[in-house]
């Protein structure tokens, strides 16, 4: 397993946890995970889950 794969797995896990908790705005989550732009976080999240963070919150 490559470093980038491990980093992505950790970011995905933390993103799901933070979103599920409902305690943080998406912009804050994206910064906490090391993304400079919410749009970059949204693209990564969609790649990981098939959903946008906003649609995931609604599930």
Q: Do residues 19 and 53 make contact, with C-beta atoms less than 8 angstroms apart? A: yes
Q: State how many domains the chain has.
A: 1
Q: What is the pTM of this model?
A: 0.91
Domain residues for the domain of 39 are 3-58
Specify the CATH number for the domain of residue 11.
1.10.10.60
- Note the helical H segments in the chain: 3-21, 26-32, 38-49, 53-58
pLDDT band at 58 (very low <50, low <70, confident <90, very high): confident
Q: Is the pLDDT of residue 59 over 80?
A: no
* Mean pLDDT computed over every residue of the chain: 96
């Amino acid at each position: 397993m490559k470093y980038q794969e491990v980093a992505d797995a950790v970011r995905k896990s933390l993103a799901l946890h933070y979103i599920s908790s409902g305690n943080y705005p998406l912009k804050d989550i994206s910064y906490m995970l090391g993304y400079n732009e919410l749009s970059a976080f949204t693209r990564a999240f969609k790649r990981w889950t098939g959903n946008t963070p906003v649609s995931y919150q609604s599930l």
